[in-house]
């Protein structure tokens, strides 16, 4: 049986708004199709014994400034190995706090500069006024396998991200990378970094399947086409939410 290996980094520290649900969802959608998954939980100190490149997917959720500060040194100590995994094509999914820490730096709401891994060019600065946060539902439009897809989620961040060279999507409702931004997140072939909680993947099954399909295809070296699942309920929820939010915007 084909097994997808997932490294879930800092699940005990980066798990806002059900972010861990994203990995449960990947496991579920694999299982429904006869594939299996193996999720390894990475916690502070596991760096030396972890072979990051041996995973198919590396995942980081979102977290508060305090937790980001606590884990920053540990993350930095893994820089070379994470960089090698990313360069070899391992898929990297990062939400909010995890997104911020992969950039140049995150200057938090206390004015403290937390160094990022520097994998990407973007950087993030939060207002020192802790009330100034982008909070609420968000809808972005992106392209998945050549087709336009609306990604739904919930954002809650004080950090404003700049210098994003290739955004994940175009904002249709909500804020995105910063207040009133037209762009949201960061994307490359094997990278999705986004402010969308939700959990992201349960609200956007097409996105979940595109990540699964990327990982399975990379393992075998040939394009894996997934059998469709019954997403009727998910689609009905999406219809209601998208209708409500995009109508509100008019």
With contacts defined by CB under 6 A, name the span among 35-43, 45-53, 63-71, 179-187 that binds ligand GLN.
Answer: 63-71
197 in active site: yes
Phi and psi, residue 229, nearest 5°: -105, 165
Query: Of the two residues 62 and 199, which places its CB atom closer to ligand GLN in the complex?
Result: 62
Query: Of the two residues 6 and 16, which places its CB atom closer to ligand GLN in the complex?
Result: 16
Say which residues have a Cβ less than 8 Å from residue 27's Cβ, sequence separation at least 6. 37, 39
Q: Rule CB under 6 A: is residue 63 a binding residue for ligand GLN?
A: yes
| 6's tokens | 């997932």
**Residue of 16, 138, 152, 196 that binds ligand GLN (CB under 6 A):** 16
| Shortest separation between residue 245's beta carbon and ligand GLN, angstroms | 19
Find the binding residues for ligand GLN in span 197-236 (CB under 6 A).
none
Q: What is the rounded distance in angstroms from the CA atom of residue 90 to the CA atom of residue 83?
A: 10
The angle at the Cα of 234, spanning 229 to 235, to the nearest 5 degrees, equals: 90
Query: Of the two residues 82 and 196, which places its CB atom closer to ligand GLN in the complex?
Result: 196
Find the binding residues for ligand GLN in span 92-111 (CB under 6 A).
96-97
* Residue among 61, 59, 70 nearest 37 (CA): 59
**Residue of 153, 159, 169, 199 that binds ligand GLN (CB under 6 A):** 159
Query: Of the two residues 103 and 158, which places its CB atom closer to ligand GLN in the complex?
Result: 158
Q: Rule CB under 6 A: is residue 116 a binding residue for ligand GLN?
A: no
**Percent of the chain that is helix, strand, coil (3-state, to 5):** 35, 30, 35
Longest dimension (CA), the chain: 53
Q: What is the rounded distance in angstroms from the CA atom of residue 119 to the CA atom of residue 82?
A: 9
* Residue among 9, 119, 15, 19 nearest 74 (CA): 9
| Shortest separation between residue 129's beta carbon and ligand GLN, angstroms | 12
**Residue of 15, 65, 184, 209 that binds ligand GLN (CB under 6 A):** 65
Say which residues have a Cβ less than 8 Å from residue 236's Cβ, sequence separation at least 6. none
| Shortest separation between residue 157's beta carbon and ligand GLN, angstroms | 3
| Shortest separation between residue 63's beta carbon and ligand GLN, angstroms | 5
Q: Are 59 and 6 in contact (CB under 8 A)?
A: yes
Q: Which of 8, 78, 96, 134 is catalytic?
A: 96
Q: What is the rounded distance in angstroms from the CA atom of residue 58 to the CA atom of residue 185?
A: 17
Query: Omega before 199 cis (within 30°)?
Result: yes
Find the binding residues for ligand GLN in span 118-157 (CB under 6 A).
126, 156-157
Q: Which active-site residues does the annotation give? A: 96, 197
Binding site for ligand GLN (CB under 6 A): 16, 62-65, 68, 96-97, 126, 156-159
């Amino acid at each position: 049986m084909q097994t997808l290996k997932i490294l879930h980094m800092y699940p005990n520290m980066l798990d806002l708004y059900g972010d861990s649900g994203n990995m449960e969802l990947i496991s579920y959608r694999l299982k429904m199709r006869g594939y299996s998954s193996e999720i390894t939980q990475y916690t502070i100190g596991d760096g030396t014994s972890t072979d990051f490149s041996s995973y198919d997917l590396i995942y980081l959720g979102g977290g508060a400034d305090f937790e980001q500060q606590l884990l920053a040194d540990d993350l930095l100590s893994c820089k070379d190995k994470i960089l090698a995994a990313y360069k070899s094509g391992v898929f990297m999914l990062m939400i909010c706090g995890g997104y911020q820490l992969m950039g140049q730096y995150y200057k938090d709401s206390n004015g403290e500069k937390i160094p990022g891994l520097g994998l990407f060019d973007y950087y993030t600065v939060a207002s020192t006024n802790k009330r100034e946060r982008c909070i609420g539902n968000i809808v972005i439009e992106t392209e998945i396998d050549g087709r336009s897809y609306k990604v739904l989620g919930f954002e809650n961040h004080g950090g404003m991200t700049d210098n994003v060279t290739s955004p994940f999507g175009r904002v249709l409702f909500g804020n995105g990378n910063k207040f009133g931004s037209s762009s949201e997140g960061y994307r490359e072939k094997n990278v999705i970094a986004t402010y969308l909680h939700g959990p992201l993947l349960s609200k956007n099954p097409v996105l979940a399947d595109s990540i699964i399909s990327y990982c399975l295809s990379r393992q075998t070296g040939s394009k894996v086409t997934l059998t469709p699942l019954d997403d009727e309920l998910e689609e009905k929820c999406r219809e209601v939410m998208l209708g409500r939010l995009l109508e509100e915007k008019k």
